[in-house]
A and B are shown apart, each in its own frame.
Chain A
Amino acid sequence: MSPTYGIVAVALVALATLAIGAFGLRVSRTTSDFYVASRSVSPLWNSSAIGGEYLSAASFLGVAGLVLAYGADMLWYPIGWTTGYLMLLVFVAAPLRRSGAYTIPDFAQVRLQSLRVRQVASILVVAIGWLYLMPQFQGAGLTLRTVTGAPTWVGTVLVAVIVVINVVSGGMRSITFVQAFQYWLKLTALLIPVFFLALAWTRDGRPRPVAPEAWFSPFGGTDGPDLYLTYSVMVATFLGTMGLPHVVVRFYTNPDGRAARRTTLLVLALLGTFYLLPTIYGVLGRIYAGDLVAAGRADTVVLELPGRMLGGGAGELLAALVTAGAFAAFLSTSSGLTMSIAGVVGQGLAGTPATRRHPISTITALRFGATGGVMVPLALALSAERISVANSVTFAFALAASTFCPLLVLGIWWRGLTAAGAVAGMIGGGICAGVAPVLTIAWGPGGWLGLLMSQPAAWSVPVGFGLMTVVSLLTRSTVPGTVARAMVALHTPELVDVDRRT
């Protein structure tokens, strides 16, 4: 592909992102605007924004690459990422919105009346956010190099700078507009080329993909290990989505609990529509770009296909469109993550909730939080060896599923949860889900131990839930006295006018 089109596409996305962010700046004035867009975003805007934020590099590039390389088994990833929203809908969406908190640490404090729980949750938000940010930054560098030939650090730094400018200038409201725009950009960027690619495929006489038998059928030729990995990925993605900080913070922008549910249902539709497309790219890639697997560049199949199958001006234009979509994917996910890290760090900087009465200092704290929060993953992305996007992302899902999922589910549905139980569960589950991949990379144990360590969710999530439950039962006398009021606030529909103070 000629670099010109690619550079123009990336520049247009970057400019549009900054322009929409600037539009948000004019209406973003108060602290509430900054953090949660004053809770006035409609379900369609909000669900587009959630979709835009959620569909990261792993979805836009990674799924097609995985399908190209490994076939039918990889279809579980997009299924898990979508089902995660169904679990979020039924267990968390409406009560979380009704809790009236800004972030997960806020929720923990409101529900459990404990500063220690808040601190542990804050550290986890930052840890999960950094884990998720690093591969986004690295993926951006790689994409820009593939398309334009620029050095890797250019794309990495470019994404980081645009994201910080956006968050610092407009906060959550401008991010909402940016994210909503980017969902539709990403869908368009995959949808339009598919029609042309299908035409080209028909013109070529509809060749069938050439691959080993195992590629076509799930669990082709294998059994035990594959089954464990599949179920572990399921646990991580089904339960991890509700604990991702950049996903959860979105739910505070709904006007009420009912809108939070409807937003989530719309998200299911938007994600389901989007995830039909990467599979098509993966299968077409098997026909036209099988060499990418051997070259270790399966992740670039989405970017390469238009040029290879169509060629000429049309191919170049469509390739530029796909590049724009990929860049939007990096930008949107990074923005959301940065925003949630900045929210937590900013609140930590601003100190107690009492300082919320002084919006200027809080907004300043948020700006410092955003700038500081991006520095660490940026430094890691620039210095560390490239870690595969899908691996790092799944690791973040497992960590969220082992810590925040038990906190949210038990906190919302079980009166018996105590502060000590929550801390024990988050630390225990976090250590299990955090140490396993480090062990895998540093030591690389073989056999069943290696298998258990490479995908920890299937056992680390029960550890998190178990510790939280058992320790809560042991410290039963410390159940906060406000639990009955908290349950009223979490579960009573807004149309009933009860006292919601805790």
Chain B
Amino acid sequence: MTAPDPPPRTYSGRVRVTSPLTTAPAHVRRSVRQEIDESTGIGEIYMRSLIRSQLRAALMVALTLVMSIGALPLVFLAFDAVTEVHVLGVPVPWLILGVAVYPGLFGLGWVYIRQAERAERDFARIIAPDDAAPEA
């Protein structure tokens, strides 16, 4: 047994004490994805906002339908003049109901898909900024 080493000659009276902190929890930034995976309050808020924006887009389409196709029977009933107009020898109601409605429905669907996919891209960018797909 020998005596412990003597203090270094350049002893200044101050010692820097450090710890590797191996047992302390590391400070990690929690991602929104984790919040959603763990169903925390914050995750719920993000999910609710996504669902609400998708539902809003869907209800807009439904409302447009009610006010366009849904209103047609009333328009035909209320305004006889509409039903008597002819274009290229074909009565206007036949052109509307037999032809014009279909491109309209497709257009409405196209607009909806653009909205829905944009909402999903925005959501993805918030959740996982690193691996979200670039703007398609």
A354-374: contact bitstring with B at CB < 8 Å (1 yes, 0 no)?
000000000000000000000
Q: Is the CB of B102 within 8 A of A82?
A: yes
Q: Which chain B residues border A223 with CB–CB below 8 Å?
A: 77
* Bound: A199/B56 CA distance, A: 48
Identify the closest chain B residue to A89 (Cβ).
B109
| Interface size range of chain B in the complex | 35 or more
State the majority secondary structure of interface residues on B. helix
Q: Which chain A residues border B50 with CB–CB below 8 Å?
A: 491-492
* Bound: A102/B37 CA distance, A: 24
* Bound: A220/B50 CA distance, A: 47
Interface size on A, residues (CB 8 A): 49
Q: Is the CB of A75 within 8 A of B73?
A: no
Q: Is the CB of B73 within 8 A of A231?
A: yes
Q: Which of B77, B84, B131 has the most CB of A within 10 A?
A: B77
Q: Which chain A residues border B74 with CB–CB below 8 Å?
A: 227
Q: Is the CB of B65 within 8 A of A86?
A: yes
Q: Is the CB of A495 within 8 A of B132?
A: yes
Q: Which chain A residues border B101 with CB–CB below 8 Å?
A: 79, 82
* Bound: A496/B57 CA distance, A: 21
Q: Is the CB of A219 within 8 A of B133?
A: no
Which residue of B47, B69, B76, B99 contacts A488 across the interface (Cβ within 8 Å)? B47
Q: Could you tell me the distance in whole angstroms from the C-beta of A233 to the nearest C-beta in chain B?
A: 10
Q: Is the CB of A279 within 8 A of B98?
A: yes
Identify the closest chain B residue to A206 (Cβ).
B89
Q: Which chain A residues border B62 with CB–CB below 8 Å?
A: 87, 90-91
B residues contacting A by CB (< 8 A) are: 33, 36-37, 39, 44, 47, 50-51, 54-55, 57-58, 61-62, 65, 69-70, 73-74, 76-77, 83-84, 91, 93-94, 97-99, 101-103, 105-106, 108-110, 112-113, 116-117, 120-121, 123-124, 127-128, 131-133
The 4 tightest CB contacts between A and B, nearest first, are A272-B102, A75-B97, A493-B120, A90-B58
Known: A91-B62, A217-B76. 14 other contacts (CB 8 A): A82-B101, A83-B65, A86-B108, A89-B113, A90-B112, A219-B73, A219-B77, A227-B77, A276-B98, A276-B99, A276-B102, A488-B36, A493-B121, A498-B36
